[in-house]
Chain A
Amino acid sequence: MNEYTMPIVFGVVVGTIGRMMMLRTDYRQYPTYLHGKIIHVALGFIAASLGAVAVPAIMEMNFTAVTFLTVAATQFREVRNMERNTLSEIDDFELVSRGKAYIEGIAISFESRNYLVILTAFVGTLFYLIWNVYMAIIGAIICLIISKVLQSGSTIKDLVDIEYAPPHFDGAGLYVDNIYIMNIGLPERQEEILKYGMGFVLIPKNLNVVNTIAHLGQRQAILHDVSVSLGVFRDSGTPALVPLIKRDLDDGRIAVFILPQIRDREKAIQIIGAVPVLETAIRMPSKSDVRNREAN
């Protein structure tokens, strides 16, 4: 035991608690059970140790030791690769795939959460050494709150208004509202689709949003989330029963056509609304200088 033992232990503990708080199994169904969680708690523990040990290293004027944080960065980039690989491998076996953009979004968040853990452990240990354990607890709690806030990005309902629009056929063409979805030839298939299908129209609230929700990865993410939460009426080898999202080229509205097993209109609207906006899909045309100059 020396003067640094307790602060380091404190930092490691709050960091690991932080990782556990950010690790939740929800409708994204990932990570699911014990083994997936163990991996991430263990990595969170390593991240917390790195953050906690950095403080005494600086205080002992051992500045070169801080360069091991770069090792941490490499390590956690590896976490991102690992998540990406696992999810991409599994994606082929999903009835409605997540899509590459969604997978990338999940992988990014796994990496960034480890950095938040490092920050929490660093602040915890630093405050403990500078002041005392009570300040350290306060600092750690603030960090955990910040982590929680950073963890949740915006969702689809912030960007669009969602309206129910029953799917209908015009000849062989399937439409949701006035947006063409696909051509279904067989009358029995058409009956199935009218019986089980639901349609929703997403109306963008402003111009930035039009491009974001048009992103193919974002659209696939919506389909995946809805299918996970409400079930999906399809099997391998029934390509006609596939949920689809199509875009109205005139005004950028998006028509979502789904085949859920639980046909609850309100729930479906809530679930579509709760789909996270993928970081990779966000577009900000309003921040383009040239465009703004022309608009003025």
Chain B
Amino acid sequence: MVIEKSVLAIITTNKEKVAGGAPIFICNDFDELQKVAANLEAIIDGIAHALSDELFIIVKH
């Protein structure tokens, strides 16, 4: 089976809510979260999706 989409990174300001497989980046506030997400998006050619204000994921499509 070919996996077409995968979560490459998780960026959050609330570490209580995340765990598991993908690399997790914990940020202090929303500004930092956005910067980290923007950089990661550019670096790994994925798309930054917002699940909520405190939780972003980078997905490779």
Contacts and interface: CB of A to CB of B under 8 A. Distances in A.
A185 B61 contact: no
Contacts of A184: 47-50
Contacts of A183: 47, 49-50
B45 A185 contact: no
A183 B49 CA distance: 6
Contacts of B42: 237
Contact of B50 (A171, A188, A236, A237): A171
Contacts of B34: 186-188
Interface in A169-225: 171-172, 182-189
A239 interface: yes
B45 A239 contact: yes
Interface string B30-58: 00001001100110011111100000110
Contacts of B46: 239
B61 A239 contact: yes
A57 interface: no
Contact of B47 (A187, A236, A239): A239
A141 B33 CA distance: 69
B9 to A, nearest CB: 12
A183 B56 CA distance: 11
A146 interface: no
A65 interface: no
Given A185-B57, A186-B38, A189-B38, 17 more contacts: A171-B50, A172-B50, A183-B49, A183-B50, A184-B47, A184-B48, A184-B49, A184-B50, A185-B37, A185-B47, A185-B49, A188-B38, A189-B41, A236-B45, A237-B42, A239-B46, A240-B47
Q: Which 9 pairs, one residue from A and one from B, show the smallest C-beta to C-beta distance? A: A185-B50, A172-B50, A185-B48, A183-B49, A237-B45, A240-B47, A185-B49, A185-B56, A186-B48
